[in-house]
Chain A
Amino acid sequence: DQQVKQNSPSLSVQEGRISILNCDYTNSMFDYFLWYKKYPAEGPTFLISISSIKDKNEDGRFTVFLNKSAKHLSLHIVPSQPGDSAVYFCATSNSGYALNFGKGTSLLVTP
């Protein structure tokens, strides 16, 4: 049961460039979408979210885009910094019920 898919297990980007992480979901009932960031030996940390009534949400260097018709969301990090190197999880929710996570994308930002 893979309701949330992150098809790229890893991504490498040069410092200063844009990082784009992608996520696809299957259930059109999902109404909230989130990105979490995880460093080794730590729990996931909430990064940014978007509700289904919007198509874009921006917070500093981080922007999340939602394409409901394609059931796709993406996270853009501009400019990427070495400290952004982490595993990024996409997660979805339906009306406040439990989060459904993807498998994660490991981002490496190189100097």
Chain B
Amino acid sequence: EPEVTQTPSHQVTQMGQEVILRCVPISNHLYFYWYRQILGQKVEFLVSFYNNEISEKSEIFDDQFSVERPDGSNFTLKIRSTKLEDSAMYFCASILNRGDYGYTFGSGTRLTVV
């Protein structure tokens, strides 16, 4: 069964450093998402991406965050200057069509900011 692949599985970074979280969505999918889950809290939407541009973003997704699909297979989330409160599990997801609600999620990247 096709998978969404995320790397690394765990990333530790110092506060103020830039991090890039990487995702390889399912190859024929067209819509890509980043969600995050802070420990003990709900899964929260960050951003959706379609046709090489952001289609929707949440209040969490401020100027410190950016997304990119650099080469047609990878989908990345960059945090420019990490804060302690950015520590969370970050999940990438993809779907073929909007309205295909059964997202396929990756296994996540645990980001720890120290």
Task: Say yes or no for B106: interface residue by CB 8 A criterion.
Answer: yes
The interface on chain A, measured as residues whose beta carbon lies within 8 A of the other chain's beta carbons, has a size of: 23
B44 CB within 8 Å of chain A:
yes
B interface with A by C-beta (< 8 Å)? 4, 6, 33, 35, 41-45, 48, 56, 58, 91, 93, 98-99, 101-108
Shortest CB–CB separation between residue B27 and chain A, in angstroms? 18
Instruction: For B99, list chain A residues within 8 Å (CB).
Output: 96
A103 to B58 alpha-carbon distance, docked (Å): 18
From the candidates B41, B101, B106, B108, name the one contacting A99 in the complex (CB within 8 A): B101
User: How many pairs of A and B residues are in contact by the CB < 8 Å rule?
Assistant: 55
Point out residues on A near B: beta carbons under 8 Å. Answer: 4, 32, 34, 36, 41-46, 49, 89, 91, 93, 96-104
One of B33, B56, B91, B102 near A49 (C-beta < 8 A):
B102
How far in angstroms is the closest Cβ of chain A from B13?
20
CB atoms of B45 and A98 under 8 A apart: yes
- The answer for the CA separation of A34 and B105 in the assembled complex, in Å, is 14
Q: Is the CB of B48 within 8 A of A101?
A: no
User: Closest residue to A90 on the B side, CB-wise?
Assistant: B42
Q: For B43, B44, B58, which residue has the most chain A Cβ atoms within 10 angstroms?
A: B43
